[in-house]
Amino acid sequence: MSSALNSLRALSDQTRLRIVALLERDELSVNELQEATHLGQSRISTHLGQLQDADLVQSRREGKRTFYRVNQHADELAREFIQLAVRGAKEMPEHSGDQINLKRILARRREQAQIYFNEVAGRFDRVYGPGRSWQAFGHLLLRIVPPLVVADLGAGEGLLSELLARRCKKVIAVDNSAKIVEFGAKKAKKNGLKNLEFRQGDLQTPPIDAESMDLVILSQALHHAEQPALALKSAYRLLKAGGQILILDLQQHQFERARELYGDLWLGFAQSDLHQWLEEAGFKQVDINVVASEEDPPHFETILACATK
């Protein structure tokens, strides 16, 4: 049987014309089609099967439900039949009611989605959502970054350094632990990151040439420095004219156990102190803000400081 005859047979029933007209507007489940047409579920399923056999309708599964819509990949002949079916449905007395019911169904969908987002408002970043991860966001944001030469001071095992190296021209990761530097270098080599170099050194005297960096990053590292002000002066020395420094660290807190648990020398920093040290080092356009707050005790707050040489 030719596709034309198959399509003609599929559209010979008025109920199937009504279904095509509904699915031409949006994809619907069997239950939603039942609600729109006031027809039985088994009857609708039978009609959908015939429309699928004629390649006029396609389906997709979502969990336990199946959604149907007109075939988005239909050939020219099938598209003509779909349009004829829609025109035919518009001449039927049930068409107006079907479209009113469809409008109500789609409005309810939007309301349900809005209820969900209203429920998670204010805690959206702590609620699971498929595909939402900081790793994914990091890769997205890196696409905005130009190919810079970056120094990651106090890099640890290089989690941030590795991410930066996938986009930046060159990344130099500095840490004072020989074992950590060795581990990071082996991992970078394993991952084929030839533009990522690990060097052992201190935050206050990083082993990097002066005026060779576009960007210096201190991510949760400055509170490990004996003299944070000196570390910032060294960072200034590394930067080219117009280069930037980015500092992620803790807002000043009173959680004394951080010294024992995490080896912190400083219990975070007051924004005023950071601002003063950056200006004394020679930085301009200093900007400091709280960018994250933890709800659980001891309620750590993370500050982001940025400035330009």
CATH of the domain at 239: 3.40.50.150
Which helix (H) or strand (E) covers residue 237, if one does? Answer: helix 228-238
Note whether 112 and 157 are same-domain residues: no
Domain limit, last residue, from 77, 101, 122: 122
Is 23 within a domain? yes
- pLDDT exceeds 90 at position 123: no
Domain limit, last residue, from 80, 95, 122: 122
- pLDDT exceeds 80 at position 198: yes
Is 183 within a domain? yes
Strands 28-29 and 65-70: antiparallel
Mean pLDDT of the chain, nearest integer:
88
Note whether 257 and 299 are same-domain residues: yes
Query: Rounded to an integer, what distance in angstroms lies between the CA atom of residue 21 and that of residue 99?
Result: 9
In this structure, what token pair is assigned to residue 8?
Answer: 């003609």
273 forms beta bridges with none
In this structure, what token pair is assigned to residue 160?
Answer: 């941030």
Is 129 within a domain? no
Is 128 within a domain? no
Is 200 within a domain? yes
Note whether 199 and 223 are same-domain residues: yes
Domain limit, last residue, from 122, 152, 168: 122
Strands 284-293 and 301-308: antiparallel
Is 116 within a domain? yes
Percent helix / strand / coil, the chain, rounded to 5: 45, 25, 30
Note whether 139 and 268 are same-domain residues: yes
Q: How far is CA 261 from the centre of its chain?
A: 31
70: domain range?
3-122
Classified as helix, coil or strand, 19 is helix
Note whether 177 and 60 are same-domain residues: no
- pLDDT exceeds 80 at position 18: yes
Query: Rounded to an integer, what distance in angstroms lies between the CA atom of residue 177 and that of residue 200?
Result: 7
Note whether 107 and 138 are same-domain residues: no
Note whether 97 and 227 are same-domain residues: no
Note whether 150 and 104 are same-domain residues: no
Nearest partner of 11 among 61, 70, 73, 67, judged by Cα: 70
Average pLDDT of the segment spanning 257-268: 91
Percent of the chain with pLDDT over 70: 92
Note whether 9 and 44 are same-domain residues: yes
Is 22 within a domain? yes
Average pLDDT of the segment spanning 248-264: 92
Structural domains counted in the chain: 2
- 142: amino acid identity, one letter: L
At 105-118, the pLDDT tens digits run 888 877 776 665 55
Note whether 91 and 228 are same-domain residues: no
Confidence band of 251 (pLDDT split at 50, 70, 90): very high
Q: How far is CA 150 from CA 35, 112, 165, 171, 239, in A?
A: 59, 46, 9, 5, 9
Query: Rounded to an integer, what distance in angstroms lies between the CA atom of residue 201 and that of residue 153?
Result: 9
Q: Could you tell me the CATH number of the domain that includes residue 107?
A: 1.10.10.10
At 222-238, the pLDDT tens digits run 999 999 999 999 999 99
Is 54 within a domain? yes
Note whether 163 and 111 are same-domain residues: no
Question: For tokens 């040489």, what's the residue?
Answer: 309
Query: Rounded to an integer, what distance in angstroms lies between the CA atom of residue 114 and that of residue 124?
Result: 13
- pLDDT exceeds 60 at position 122: no
Note whether 14 and 101 are same-domain residues: yes
The answer to whether 193 and 162 have CB atoms below 8 angstroms apart is yes
Q: How far is CA 281 from CA 157, 245, 278, 296, in A?
A: 28, 11, 5, 35
